[in-house]
Structure formats: C-alpha cells, structure tokens
C-alpha cells in the first residue's frame, strides 16, 4: 500500500479533486450565469488555484503553507494557465469542440508540468509538517 502513497499519487488525487472543483466552478459561471467560456475558464482557474495550494501543501507535499509560498504559487501557475487557455481556445475555435468539454481535454496537457513546478515551489525551503 505504501507504493501508492507517493507524492505523485497524492498529486493525482488532489488533481482529480481540483479538476472537479475547477469544472464545477466553470460550469456554474458558463452555464448558470451565462458568462463567456474564457471568462468562466479563468474564474474557475483562479478559484481552483487557491484550493490547489492548500491541498497540495497539506496533503501532497506535506509542507507548511506560508504566505511567501502562497504568493509564489500563482506565478508558477502562469505557465499552466497559458498552456491550458491556449488549448481551450484551439479546441473551441479551431477544432470546434464543445466549450464545456474543451477545458477537461486541456488538463491532460498540463498535468506533468504542474507536478514538477508545484513541487519545486512548495518544497523550496524544506519545511515539513
């Protein structure tokens, strides 16, 4: 059982939770409030970013969340939002994929990059819980 309790496994679990969180927020803004898909995508991303920071700090990497790390965390996610937004745009505008499905498809391309960058930021000073 210990071999399933790795940082990457915990990261995937948190990623799944965070993806569901993002998608619920996205659908809320896009369908219930009728906001543009890209505005809904960005709002979902920001809200899920905060949730992700705390879940990854406490559960994935088991480090103490600090204000410094919290402020650095979004900077590392700029690459993530740029890549995911680009894919969402390409999927919807060029490939004519449903705007409700495009964000889920984009996630596949951002997982490896996000794992590496998140670990570097959250474990930067070696503080454990």
Give tens-digit pLDDT for 8-43: 889 889 988 988 999 999 999 999 999 999 999 999
**What confidence score (pLDDT) does residue 78 get?**
81
Give tens-digit pLDDT for 76-111: 778 788 888 999 999 999 999 999 999 889 988 887
Distances (CA, A) of 22 to 105, 125, 126, 129: 13, 29, 29, 27
Secondary structure of 26-86 as H, E, C letters: HHHHHHHCCCCHHHHHHHHHHHHHHHHHHHHHHHHCCCCCCHHHHHHHHHHHHHHHHHHHH
Is the pLDDT score of 1 beyond 70? no
The domain spans of the chain are 2-122
* Residue with tokens 């570097």, as numbered in its chain: 120
Is the pLDDT score of 3 beyond 80? no
Is the pLDDT score of 4 beyond 90? no
Model confidence at 115, in pLDDT bands (50, 70, 90)? Answer: confident
Model confidence at 127, in pLDDT bands (50, 70, 90)? Answer: low
**What confidence score (pLDDT) does residue 128 get?**
67
């Amino acid at each position: 059982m210990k071999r399933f309790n790795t940082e990457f496994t915990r990261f995937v679990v948190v990623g799944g939770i965070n993806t569901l969180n993002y998608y619920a927020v996205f659908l809320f803004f896009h369908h219930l409030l009728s906001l543009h898909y890209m505005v809904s995508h960005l709002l979902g991303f920001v809200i899920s970013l905060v949730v992700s920071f705390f879940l990854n700090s406490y559960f994935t990497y088991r480090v103490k969340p600090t204000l410094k790390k919290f402020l650095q965390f979004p900077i590392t996610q700029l690459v993530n939002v740029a890549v995911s937004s680009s894919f969402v745009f390409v999927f919807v505008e060029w490939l004519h994929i449903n705007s409700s499905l495009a964000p889920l498809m984009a996630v596949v391309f951002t997982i490896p990059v996000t794992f590496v960058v998140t670990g570097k930021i959250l474990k930067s000073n070696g503080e454990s819980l």
